[in-house]
Amino acid sequence: METVNVLTPAVRQTAISGMERLRADFPILGIRVEDKPLVYLDNAASSQMPQIVIDRLVRYQKTQHANIHRAVHHLSGIATQEYEAARRKLQCFISAREEREVIFTSGTTDSINLVMHGYGRKFIQEGDEIILTALEHHSNIVPWQMLAEEKGARIRVVPINDAGELLVEEYEKLFNSRTRFVGLSHVSNALGSINPIKRMIATAHQHGVPVLVDGAQAAPHLKIDVRDLDCDFYAFSAHKMCGPTGIGILYGKAHLLESMQPFKGGGDMITSVSFEKTTYNEIPYKFEAGTPPIAAAIGFGAAIDYLEQIGLDAIAAYEHELLVYASEQIRALPGVRIVGDCQNKVAVISFVMDGIHPHDVGTLLNQDGIAVRTGHHCAQPIMQRFNVAATSRASFSFYNTKKEIDTLVEGIRSVQKVFAQ
């Protein structure tokens, strides 16, 4: 992570000592599991919510709720204003040129499906090719497979090496005159690898091909600048970054969004309707049919405020410290192997243990109050690549501590002890 190196040791130290104090912002971190303090290390699946975001949701429901973009009354005005303010916060957060380039969706999966239906079904034809990577989450594979099947298009896959890094040279060789689209994860959910997407986007653009970036695992940990990346689409979800479930965004370049057909039809996405002809609304509303999760969108805005207050650079620096510490500790354990141990990654550690199935690891760690994810992480192609059925995954957030990593390492040793008897 480039951001780590620019921080002086003093700044880094301040960031680290400040971070542990933030735990108090998260009520759920105080609960006990199996009569042990909760050690929550499943942040890549979903992060926890700070009190300030919870309070924002409550304040909205108690004093500001009505439907948006509809009525002339007081509450509808406030709700609309707050909903659109949240959109502007997201726009600034990712440095988008215009706020209409930010579409609220129900999450990353919904965003990707929107692009598949709105862009893919319109512009991808029989014999065309779509490039995806071996690191994709199922949500950036399955929609494109559905499209490929419908259209008779073909999917090409960028391979990875043993460290879990994309083979960029192989990627560059995949382009030909039939390449129409690239779908790319910024950060792998199963391994944590950070992909060199800026370079990969530039390559695609040399061939005139647009790129969708699945940023679900990147946005909580890295500063995202869609103009600097020059990506055509970027998608992520609130619930992985201290916000509520059921809300996320799709960023898209305005001219692309304008060229696309609507994904869902309904209210709010039209300017006029008659049984003869319907005129669609402008972007972003063209893609926001029906009443959106207004409270969740506003809560998302509050989560963005919270993260920006801490600073994404400070978050990245602190989480990198956690990653380095945890990697050293886990690597030192005999009988434990980290899967996808590449240089450039976010604070995610996927590991397997000799002779012990990940589900047994997860169940026994839970006895010590430790929450990790076990399974294939909705990324079965990665599991196949590494020839494992499943892994255990510890994924960290800025509210985790080195002490919790020690508890995890103790927990892993204790699992080994149970199995050694």
Residues annotated as catalytic are 378
- The residue among 34 and 228 lying less far from other proteins, judged by its C-beta, is 34
CB nearer other proteins, residue 188 or residue 391: 391
Q: At what angle do helices 358-366 and 402-420 cross, to 10 degrees?
A: 120
Strands 129-133 and 154-158: parallel
What's the token pair of residue 57? 């949701």
Q: How far is the CB of 364 from other proteins (least distance, A)?
A: 7
By the 10 Å C-beta count (0-12 exposed, 13-18 middle, 19+ buried), 169 is classed as: exposed
**First CA to last CA distance, the chain:** 42
Q: How far is the CB of 5 from other proteins (least distance, A)?
A: 39
Quick one: 280 or 419, whose CB is closer to other proteins? Answer: 419
CB of 283 or CB of 390, closer to other proteins: 390
Q: Which is nearer to other proteins, 284 or 381 (CB)?
A: 381
d(CA 163, CA 38): 31
Q: For residue 264, what are its two tokens?
A: 């869902």
Write down the least CB distance from residue 189 to other proteins, Å.
Answer: 17
User: 315 CB contacts (<8 Å, ≥6 apart)?
Assistant: 221, 307, 398
Q: Check: CB of residue 139 under 8 Å from CB of residue 114.
A: no
Side chain identity at residue 367, one-letter code: Q
For residues 210 and 257, the answer to whether their CB atoms sit within 8 Å is no
Token pair 């990712």: residue = 94
Chain residues 353-412 in contact with other proteins, contact rule CB under 8 A = 356-360, 363-364, 367, 374-376, 383, 389-390
Comparing CB distances to other proteins, the nearer of 303 and 412 is 412
Residues with Cβ within 8 Å of residue 212, at least 6 apart in sequence: 112, 115, 140, 181, 182, 183, 184, 231, 232, 233, 234, 235
Residue 413 within binding range of other proteins, rule CB under 8 A: no
Q: Is the peptide bond before 284 cis (omega within 30 degrees of 0)?
A: yes
In the numeric block, which tokens belong to residue 148? 């490929």
Per CB under 8 A, contacts with other proteins among 312-341 are: none
Q: Which residues contact 188 (CB under 8 A, 6 or more apart)?
A: 135, 164, 195, 217, 340, 345, 348, 379, 382
Q: How far is the CB of 158 from other proteins (least distance, A)?
A: 24
419 binds other proteins (CB under 8 A): yes
Q: Is 173 in the site for other proteins (CB under 8 A)?
A: no
User: Phi/psi of residue 358, each to 5°?
Assistant: -55, -35
CB of 356 to other proteins, least distance (A): 8
The full length of the chain comes to 421
Taking the complex as a whole, how short is the minimal distance between the CB of residue 138 and other proteins, in angstroms? Answer: 12
Spatial distance between the Cα atoms of 18 and 402, rounded to a whole number of angstroms: 14
Contact status, residue 244 vs residue 220, Cβ threshold 8 Å: no
Name the minimum Å distance from CB 419 to other proteins: 6
CB 157 within 8 A of CB 141: no
Q: Cβ closer to other proteins: 279 or 421?
A: 421
Between 44 and 103, CB nearer to other proteins: 44
- Report yes or no: 182 and 231 within 8 Å, Cβ to Cβ: no
CB of residue 27 to other proteins, shortest distance in Å: 24
Which chain residues interact with other proteins by CB under 8 A?
Answer: 356-360, 363-364, 367, 374-376, 383, 389-390, 418-419, 421
